Amino acid sequence: MSELIIEESIVSVDWLQANFKASNLIILDATIRKVAQTQILDLEEHHIPKALFFDLKKEFSDVNAKFPNTCPSERQFTKAAQELSINKNSAIVVYDINGIYSSARAWWLFKTFGHNNVAVLNGGLPEWKRRGFPLEKQHSKTETKGNFIGKYQKEHFLFFEDIKAIQHNPKFTILDARSENRFKGIVKEPRKGLRSGRIPNALNLPFDNVLEKGNLLPKDTLKNIFKNTTQNNEYLVFSCGSGITACVLALGADVLGYKNIAVYDGSWTEYGSLINNEKIMHWTKEELVAYTLIYAANSNFIEDNKERNMIIEHVDMQTFQKIHDEFDADNDYQSLQKISAGLKEHNYTHKDIDELLAEIKLMFFADGEFDVLERMVYRSLKSLLE
């Protein structure tokens, strides 16, 4: 059978079955667990024949990055793709066991690295099984390296500084693929320590809204959804929790023929961790001191009454509880980012910093000892503050 050229970004299971013997066909299983999914996925249960495992979490993400699912380097992507026997002329079909979920991220990565002969399998493994097509128990194994060479297309991804620059620009429409309740902050984010919220001026289009039973909706229906949701069609930017389901919206937009589209790689996990919202930006100086002391008091995971009383000396009980609730919702990285931002906002002088460090040290000695963990945190805070 002659070599395949895939002309659409999504293909049906019937199309895949009909073209199964193409010499350049590569089938990839890009399944990952959904962020809110509690059950363990059995990745060796059923597979489409000839499918190779596309390890989106390890091989095709920058595992050393601060945030999950970060786009890998050109070198890493090229090496990992070659290990899957992917060639420059490969026709790639990506699927996952959830219908269309993480397969869209794999598709977007290939397009980001210059390979356009790639498509998502509409309905994924559930649709393949529903049609009664053959299955295998194990993923296939590769025997030879491919000759694929990735060429990074920088316009495919935006990052934190890009989002800050465009979020008030009327030429850009940011579409958030999270559920409505997450977008509005009605429910907590599933990732521990990540606060709720949304990017300013972003609009909500839950990725489930463009799917039906794991299949992408027909074009006419998709067209109406995008038309009714977007304010502007010039530039569409897609965000979500961590850059996975944003790619489902990118897939829908691509199928409809939108040209100027991009995915915010870090999405809300990055933005919510790095940005200062209205509540945080307007800490009083006393609230900043209280937050910093609460952070220090919890360095050894024990906040005793003496330490608590010292903190309350700076703010009233109601404010203390408000600041403590905020601290409890933050992870260590977020806490340090907030303290640093607060120092800049209030233009702390060297004298102010010396006084704050003296307060921290005094609190550490409140229980009569200055233990190892407290010393480590003190050095860390001193380095941050100075």
Is 189 in contact with 182 (CB distance < 8 Å)? yes
Biggest CA-to-CA distance, the chain:
80
What is the Cα Rg of the chain in Å? Answer: 25
Instruction: Please report, for residues 22, 24, 93, the alpha-carbon distance to residue 1 in angstroms, rounded to integers and kept in the order given.
Output: 5, 9, 17
Q: Does residue 48 come out as left (phi exceeding 0), alpha (psi in the -120 to 50 range) or beta?
A: beta
Closest CA to 226 of 199, 257, 185, 262: 257
Instruction: Please report, for residues 50, 69, 199, 329, the alpha-carbon distance to residue 192 in angstroms, rounded to integers and kept in the order given.
Output: 37, 16, 19, 8
For residue 264, the one-letter residue type is Y
User: What is d(CA 189, CA 102) in angstroms, rounded to the nearest whole number?
Assistant: 19
**Size (the chain), residues:** 386
CA angle 329, 335, 337 (to 5 degrees): 130
Is 256 in contact with 187 (CB distance < 8 Å)? no
247: annotated active-site residue: no
Helix axis angle, 103-112 to 246-255, nearest 10°: 70
User: What is d(CA 310, CA 62) in angstroms, rounded to the nearest whole number?
Assistant: 43
Catalytic residue among 92, 240, 323, 339: 240
The H-or-E segment that residue 121 falls in is strand 118-121
User: What is d(CA 191, CA 35) in angstroms, rounded to the nearest whole number?
Assistant: 8
Is 50 in contact with 29 (CB distance < 8 Å)? no
Residues annotated as catalytic are: 240
